[in-house]
Amino acid sequence: MITQPIIPCIWFEGDVEAIAEWYVSKFPDSFVDYTTKLTDTPSGETTIVTVSLAGQFFQLLGAGPLKERNPSISYMVAFPTSEEVETLWNELMDGAEVLMPLDTYDFSERYGWLTDKHGVSWQIMHSGGMDIQTVTPCFLFVGDVFGRAEAAMNDWISIFPDSYVLEDHMIRYEATDGPELEGKLNYARFVLSGREFVAMDSAENHQFAFNEMQSLIAFCESQAEIDDYWAKLSAVPEAEQCGWLQDRYGVSWQIVPWEMEEMLTTGTKEQLARVTQAFLPMKKIDVAALRNVY
């Protein structure tokens, strides 16, 4: 079962179970944890596969077409050896689009950025001896949210417990980078509820933005915790649906009680059906109502 209170969720249109197996075959120390199938949803049958990739839990959601995945959220993969960087790069290259070629850069002796054949972006790099998380979600603030990476990071840190900026892991753009960039976040690594994340600003003319195809799931211990996160994060009322919300930076979150995750994992087919029909019309999840129908 998931042991991390905040994990990424990636939405796919295809056979999500096959996609999960593909990722597990590419990443070291990885496994499929469990699979949940929900029926009679707006997408028909919805399949959720929980995987661990090199120590980072993900939920992969198979729910039909919606929007395009894009590099506004990517995943930094840091290895202590160049050989490990090369191996994963080559594993993911089949059908991939290279955003930055695998090469030596000022910030890493071996680094490359690609979007794999399933539309998910990976920044694969040599860790340079830094003691950092192997797989880390990375937010790229561009377009309408350019320059807001630091504000978002500080907001999220204020909301979630056990959260802080990692010492010596914040780099700002300098005056030589241009007046538009000066002072903004080139790179910052921070912790939310014990897990590492990265935020960066970019003034490049990227034609993408945060959307529901990649979200963060925040698991909660109680209704009070759900209420607190919801009040502090939700900024777009029309985006509120069955536990999903969108914050003021356009990032999508799922605020999910651990109890609901356990219901969907261990319940009978009939219990899953009742819980599913109960939570679909909800905006914020009502734990007592789910417990009642379960």
Per-residue pLDDT 10s for the chain (294 aa) are: 899 999 999 999 989 999 999 999 999 999 999 999 998 888 788 999 999 999 999 999 999 888 899 999 999 999 999 999 999 999 999 999 999 999 999 999 999 999 999 999 999 999 999 999 999 999 999 999 999 999 999 999 999 999 999 999 999 999 999 999 999 999 999 999 999 999 999 999 899 999 999 999 999 999 999 999 999 999 999 999 999 999 999 999 999 999 999 999 999 999 999 999 999 999 999 999 999 999
Query: Considering 201, 221, 246, which residue would you say is the last residue of a domain?
Result: 201
124 and 164 assigned to the same domain: yes
- Please answer whether residues 271 and 212 qualify as being in contact, where contact means their C-beta atoms are separated by less than 8 angstroms: no
Q: Number of folded domains in the chain?
A: 2
CA distance 233 to 2: 23
94 and 149 assigned to the same domain: yes
184 and 88 assigned to the same domain: yes
99 and 185 assigned to the same domain: yes
- The boundaries of the domain holding residue 59 are 6-68+211-293
Does residue 274 lie in a domain region? yes
193 and 225 assigned to the same domain: no
CA distance 198 to 191: 9
216 and 231 assigned to the same domain: yes
239 and 187 assigned to the same domain: no
The residue type at 75: Y
Q: What is the CATH number of the domain that holds 144?
A: 3.30.720.110
130 to each of 29, 81, 150, how far by Cα in Å?
20, 12, 22
Does residue 124 lie in a domain region? yes
